Structure 1
Amino acid sequence: MTTSDTQNPETNQTKNGYLVLASRMIFDEKLPVRFMYKTVPEHLNDTGWRLYTGYETPEYLEDDIANMATVPMEKITNLDPSLKPLLEYNAGTVWERTPDSTEWQRVYDFKIPTTSPDVEITNDLERFSVKEEDLDI
């Protein structure tokens, strides 16, 4: 079996998109990426990657429209080529590096934030019954 016949289960999923969501501190303050995770992509152009410097405060992160930038993945990897192999990994992957290190470490204990859809759960079947007069037949 050749290497082309086998796929790394860590990198063979969620391949859509070419954009990442990155902290503006990376560009405005020229700080390096030190923490990143991949969520399930939100749209076809989204890779799912979220990149941070590690200096973002909770208040900074609350205003994601002002403080996060949608950026082509290529622009990020041009700034920091060490990101390129990591950006191949699947959703659910988290990486970090400390300020005194150039090496990336895999993180297993970070809970990736998710957006919660507004869903109402009920066991009341009457709420889901369709009346004949409501149908266009």
Structure 2
Amino acid sequence: MRKPEADQPLTSEDETNQTKNGFLALVSRLVFDEKLPVRFMYKTVPEHLNDTGWRMYTGYETDEFLENEQLNMLPMPVERMVQLDPSLTELVSYNAGTVWERTPESEGWERVYDFKIPAPKVEVEITNDVEAFKSPREGS
């Protein structure tokens, strides 16, 4: 997402007008196990119908922690996260591509423009072998 130009600021409506689907966010286990606040979050394109696309972190996750998403990221209703931290209420209405952070010394959330949201890892096999593309009905 580009940072708005000074002469053409994006309005709140421009930033929140996507169709809303899903109700779940993926939230770092550290929020619950260590009772740490969400301090970094972004919205990616939802991966399934129940997914809002929000990913929420404490900022203390290591690379190893992040590599094991199945174990360390918990699907959590966005409504529950807003109940735990009301400062998330307005932010969770923003569109995919939005990134927010709050540092321990800051008073509130700040928009981030220089973070590259990770894309889902998809394994693709590339081959030039025509035989690999024959359907099973065609035979060998």
Instruction: Give TM-score scaled by structure 1 length.
Output: 0.81
DSSP 3-state at the match of 2:95: coil
Write the distance in 2 (CA, Å) between the matches of 1:58 and 1:118: 20
Per-residue Cα deviation, 1:36-63 (whole angstroms, up to 9, x for no partner): 0000000011000000000001011111
Q: Give the alignment of 1:114-125 within 5 angstroms.
A: 114-119=119-124
Aligned equivalents of 2:65, 2:126: Cα separation in 1: 33
Note the alpha carbon deviations across 1:90-118, whole angstroms, 9 max, x for none: 00000000011231000000000001434
Matched, 1:71 2:76: yes
Q: Tell me if 1:26 matches 2:31.
A: yes
**RMSD of aligned Cα (Å):** 2.4
Residues 17-44 of structure 1: CA deviation (Å, up to 9, x unaligned): 1000000111111100000000000001
| Runs (4+) off by over 3 Å | 116-122
Match of 2:47 among 27, 30, 42: 42
When structure 1 is superposed on structure 2, of 75-84 and 58-67 the one drifting more is: 58-67
Percent identity (aligned) = 65
Q: Residue 111 of structure 1 corresponds to which residue in structure 2?
A: 116
The one-letter amino acid paired with 2:103 is T
Match of 1:9 among 6, 10, 14: 14
CA contact (8 A) 1:16 1:47 kept: yes
Q: Mind listing any 5+ residue stretches in structure 2 that lack a counterpart?
A: 1-10
Q: Tell me: CA distance 1:7–1:104, structure 2 relative to 1, closer, same or farther (3 Å).
A: closer
Separation in 2 of the partners of 1:66 and 1:59? Answer: 11
Offset of residue 64 of structure 1? 1.2
Q: For 2:12 and 2:82, how far apart are their aligned partners in 1? A: 23
CA distance in 1, matches of 2:58, 2:24: 18
Q: State the 1:14 CA deviation.
A: 4.4
Distance (whole Å) between structure 2 residues aligned to residue 29 and residue 14 of structure 1? 34
Q: Paired residues, what number?
A: 126
TM-score (norm 2): 0.79
3-state DSSP of counterpart to 1:59: helix
